[in-house]
Amino acid sequence: MPISTPAPANEAGLIQLCQDLQEMTLAQVAESLGQAVPPNLMGNKGWVGQLLELALGATAGNEAAPDFQHLGIELKTIPVNSKGQPIETTYVTTAPLLNVGHFTWHASPVYKKLQCVLWVPIYSEKSMTPGERVIGNSVLWRPSFDEAEILQSDWEELMDMICLGQLEKISAGQGEYLHIRPKGANKHSLTWGIDAQGNKIKTLPRGFYLRTQLTRQILQGVI
DNA sequence: GATTGATCATGC
DNA sequence: GCATGATCAATC
């Protein structure tokens, strides 16, 4: 019988839940929740994240809200190698490309999302099937002063370029912790942006991503 | 090996 | 199309 995990009442409960899941394989977690394990992630890239949402009692669904609304905590799974280092960058949110003039860092979706994040590392060698992957030591993170400063300056630099219509000049190479890359169904999906003359143009949707440099630091830092 | 651009599924 | 959840894969 599928077990639906109730939402933890507080931070301590959530952390306890994570510790209970530690060292379990995803197949074990899936089984206890009555979930099927896909043979691979190629047609199902979000499976790991959604399994963990279920296992930790996150507020389900596709709402534009933190996973644990009452706690203000965002859940993110992140694939790591045998050394516990992140393999991939982490998607944060879509970058606004239009009407961006009035945004400030502290009012930005990026800032809000990163205020409090529960990182759940998943030991995921490339050769491992989804079911073989193992849950690691979760970290409840809030940006340190230094981290927040760098994130803010990265964000401001990138948003300035969007405002100035330099969308096409933004490369994924910019930003120390935060960078921008395409985020769409494919290269043919388009949204509205502005060019250097302020004209509306069709362009690729972009998203903010966290570099592994930052996430590696988070996962290895003192809890 | 890290980086950067492209892509998969699902719901509304 | 955009929000949720991310990883794939070619190239540097």
**Which two structure tokens, joined as six digits, stand for A83?**
């050394």
pLDDT for A62: 67
pLDDT for A61: 66
pLDDT for A4: 61
Query: Is residue A161 situated within a structural domain?
Result: yes
pLDDT for A102: 73
Q: Which nucleotide is nearest to A50 (CA to C1')?
A: C5
Encode pLDDT of A91-142 as tens digits: 999 999 987 777 899 999 999 999 999 999 999 988 899 999 999 999 999 9
Query: Which residue is nearest nucleotide C5, judged by alpha carbon to C1' distance?
Result: A46
Give the count of domains, chain A: 1
Query: Which residue is nearest nucleotide B5, judged by alpha carbon to C1' distance?
Result: A182
Strand extents, DSSP E, A66-203: 74-80, 90-94, 117-123, 134-135, 139-141, 178-182, 191-194, 200-203
pLDDT for A93: 93
pLDDT for A126: 86
Query: Is residue A59 situated within a structural domain?
Result: yes
Query: Is residue A3 situated within a structural domain?
Result: no
Q: What is the CATH number of the domain that holds A21?
A: 3.40.600.10
* A61-79 average pLDDT score: 87
* A74-92 average pLDDT score: 93
The C-alpha torsion from A117 through A61 and A188 to A193, rounded to 10°, is: -60
pLDDT for A190: 93
Query: Is residue A200 situated within a structural domain?
Result: yes
What's this model's pTM, rounded to 2 decimal places? 0.93
- Through-space separation of residue A223 CA and nucleotide B4 C1' in angstroms: 31
H or E element that contains A216: helix A212-220
- Through-space separation of residue A137 CA and nucleotide C4 C1' in angstroms: 24
Query: Which residue is nearest nucleotide C8, judged by alpha carbon to C1' distance?
Result: A42
- Through-space separation of residue A195 CA and nucleotide C5 C1' in angstroms: 31
User: Is residue A223 over pLDDT 50?
Assistant: no
Query: Is residue A29 situated within a structural domain?
Result: yes
Query: Is residue A27 situated within a structural domain?
Result: yes
**Which two structure tokens, joined as six digits, stand for A170?**
């933004």
Domain span holding position A66: 11-220
For residues A78 and A3, which has the higher predicted lDDT (pLDDT)?
Answer: A78
Query: Is residue A6 situated within a structural domain?
Result: no
Query: Is residue A5 situated within a structural domain?
Result: no
pLDDT for A147: 94
Encode pLDDT of A143-163 as tens digits: 999 999 999 999 999 999 998
pLDDT for A63: 78
* A187-208 average pLDDT score: 92
Q: pLDDT tier at A173 (50, 70, 90 boundaries)?
A: confident
